Amino acid sequence: MIDGTKLFIQLLRIALGFSLAIIAAGLFLSWGFFRTLSVHGGPETDIIQLLVITWSTIISASAIGALSLIPSGFAIGFAELMKWRGVIYHVSAGGIIALVLWGIGGALPTDLFYASSETGSIIAYSTSGTTVPTPASEGFRPGSSIAASAGFIAGFIYWIVAGRESGGWWINKPSSPQASR
């Protein structure tokens, strides 16, 4: 049997938890991308960095939410039906969903390389005169660990808001007919 009030409250928690989870994942990605702005110094960079991270978080959270809505819906529905409240399930589901979504993107160009310096990482295309090695084309795509980490963070935030109460709207059936009287 189902308790309608608890189900309604859990549906609100699910919506809030999913929203906060994608915002947390977007903030994690945005902060990592734009944290190098402060290296260049100056008080004006603090304001610029805050604005860039804020707007980038909104845009990336929108993209993450649009891409992960259906797989996350299946994972959330499965957890609700099975009454799985464990942090391990929710964190790993978030990481797996993020890793799969990151992995289904197209192949990266072979002349793309990543350079890192004290001012941060840059992405550039190699030319025939550069000696910077290109990343291997086998295995995980570059950035897979970052994508999985964003998913782990999203899964943890979701678990804090809604996952701990998964399946709490089910009413336990009495063990014997005598107990219900």
Domain-wise residue ranges, the chain:
4-107+144-172
Q: What is the pLDDT of residue 171?
A: 83
User: Checking DSSP bridges between strand 112-117 and strand 120-125, what pairing results, if any?
Assistant: antiparallel
Q: What is the pLDDT of residue 173?
A: 77
Q: What is the pLDDT of residue 98?
A: 94
Which residue has 């990336």 as its token pair? 60
- The DSSP symbol for 170 reads B
Torsion sign across C-alpha atoms 108, 109, 114, 119: negative
CB atoms within 10 A of CB 6: 15
d(CA 154, CA 28): 9
Q: Which residues of 144-173 are buried (b: 16+ CB within 10 A; e: fewer)?
A: eeebbbbbbbbbbbbbebbbebbebbeeee
Is 103 strand, coil or helix?
Answer: helix
pLDDT in tens, the chain (181 residues): 888 889 999 999 999 999 999 999 999 998 888 766 565 666 666 787 888 889 999 999 999 999 999 999 999 999 999 999 999 999 999 999 999 998 887 665 555 555 555 555 555 545 555 555 545 556 677 778 899 999 999 999 999 999 999 988 888 877 766 655 5
Q: What is the pLDDT of residue 86?
A: 93
Q: How far is CA 128 from CA 14, 111, 123, in A?
A: 52, 9, 16
